[in-house]
Amino acid sequence: MHYGKKTKENEPYWFSPWHKGRPGWHIECSAMAMKYLGESFDIHAGGEDNIFPHHENEIAQSEAATGKPFVKYWLHTRHVLLKGEKMSKSYKRLIYLRDAIKKHGASNLRLFLLSTHYRKQLMYDEELIEEAKVHVDRIKKTVQLLNRFSINGRDEMKEYEKQLIESSKEAMKKFIESMNDDFNTPLAIKVIVDFSRQILSYIEQEGILSKEASRSLLEFFDNTCKIIFGDLYEKEIKVRLNDVIINWIEKLIRERNELRKQGKFEEADKIREEIRKLGIEVEDSKNFTFWYVKNLNIYK
Ligand SMILES: [Zn+2]
């Protein structure tokens, strides 16, 4: 067990009876974990390569020091594979997280990573990241529309909206069950994606929802997406622009739709391109046009 290491040049050190030294990384982890989480805590995570010797040493030295159980649950993730092999610095088979975030967007990448169960090997695959993006876009659209309809939606609630509210309770139950089942994030994500699809297909026919239903359905997304996306939910998913910008975008969309009615499709497309340049997606259903903020990416 490495309780300590002889110090190398330019490293911080403490005096010991043997040499100038510093704590080894097993003891660093025990010390940090105890400082911030206490002598016993619930969950300790790490990569599969940490199981032995690192985590066994953490347990041995922590429990020897306190006489208490150190950790209740250990979560060991498997490695992300690149082209079928473990990422490796020495073979230059490596993608840095910061580059992947820059390229794909943080919430897209996060959904992709959580789409495989943490105990299963995950393949870094750009095609699968593109699939994750489609899901994230659908969630963004649903959440942002519900958020706007909760303010400017219809006053009365239609029958189907009551059914949707009932479904949201079912979906919430399924989401919790999936997460309680050893963090089955692929299933939990599927619950969110499926339910947002159900809501969107209704909105696309109706054009609008009632304020009350929107508020109630939004709660489902607030509660579940904050778990899946963390802070990114408010930053990238539930984006709400200020009213001046909202009115301006809606005016542009009305102009575009007017041009389309007159058969001036080229000019109409130009307006849509202008709006898209701002990171805002404009989509038409059979009778209505919807927009949502797609790429307001704070990391770019
Ligand atoms: Zn550790």
- Output the tens digit of pLDDT for each of the chain's 300 residues: 456 788 888 888 999 888 888 888 899 999 999 999 999 999 999 999 999 999 999 999 999 999 999 999 999 999 889 878 888 777 778 899 999 999 999 999 999 999 999 999 999 999 999 999 999 999 999 999 999 999 999 999 999 999 999 999 999 999 999 999 999 999 999 999 999 999 999 999 999 999 999 999 999 999 999 999 999 999 999 999 999 999 999 999 999 999 999 999 999 999 999 999 999 999 999 999 999 999 864 444
Q: What pLDDT score does 298 carry?
A: 43
At a CB cut-off of 8 Å and minimum separation 6, what does 122 contact? Answer: 78, 80, 81, 113, 116
C-alpha 266 to ligand 1 mean position (Å): 59
Q: What pLDDT score does 6 carry?
A: 83
C-alpha 2 to ligand 1 mean position (Å): 13
Q: What pLDDT score does 295 carry?
A: 87
C-alpha 177 to ligand 1 mean position (Å): 29
Q: What pLDDT score does 226 carry?
A: 98
Please list, residue by residue across 264-300, b when 16 or more beta carbons sit within 10 angstroms of its beta carbon and e when fewer do: eeeebeebbeebeeeebbbeeeeeebbbbbbbebeee
Burial class (CB in 10 A: 0-12, 13-18, 19+), 215: middle
C-alpha 135 to ligand 1 mean position (Å): 34
Task: Tally the residues of the chain.
Answer: 300
Contact in structure between 271 and 256 (CB atoms under 8 Å): yes
Q: What pLDDT score does 24 carry?
A: 86
99 token code pair: 């580059």
C-alpha 127 to ligand 1 mean position (Å): 33
Q: What pLDDT score does 299 carry?
A: 43
C-alpha 254 to ligand 1 mean position (Å): 57
Q: Among residues 170, 223, 164, 166, which one has the least CA distance to residue 197?
A: 164
Q: Which residues share a beta bridge with 4?
A: 23
Q: Which residues share a beta bridge with 75?
A: 45
C-alpha 55 to ligand 1 mean position (Å): 6
C-alpha 81 to ligand 1 mean position (Å): 22
Q: What pLDDT score does 88 carry?
A: 78
If phi > 0 it is left, if psi is from -120 to 50 it is alpha, else beta; for residue 183 that is left
If phi > 0 it is left, if psi is from -120 to 50 it is alpha, else beta; for residue 207 that is left
- Note the pTM of the prediction, 2 decimals: 0.88
* Angle (CA) 79 111 119, round 5°: 30
Q: What pLDDT score does 216 carry?
A: 98
C-alpha 72 to ligand 1 mean position (Å): 15
Contact in structure between 13 and 20 (CB atoms under 8 Å): yes
At a CB cut-off of 8 Å and minimum separation 6, what does 65 contact? Answer: 30
d(CA 33, CA 42): 11
Burial class (CB in 10 A: 0-12, 13-18, 19+), 73: exposed
Contact in structure between 238 and 112 (CB atoms under 8 Å): no
Q: What is the CA radius of gyration of the chain?
A: 25
C-alpha 147 to ligand 1 mean position (Å): 41
C-alpha 229 to ligand 1 mean position (Å): 24
Q: Among residues 235, 218, 37, 34, which one has the least CA distance to residue 142?
A: 218
C-alpha 36 to ligand 1 mean position (Å): 13
C-alpha 114 to ligand 1 mean position (Å): 22
C-alpha 161 to ligand 1 mean position (Å): 49
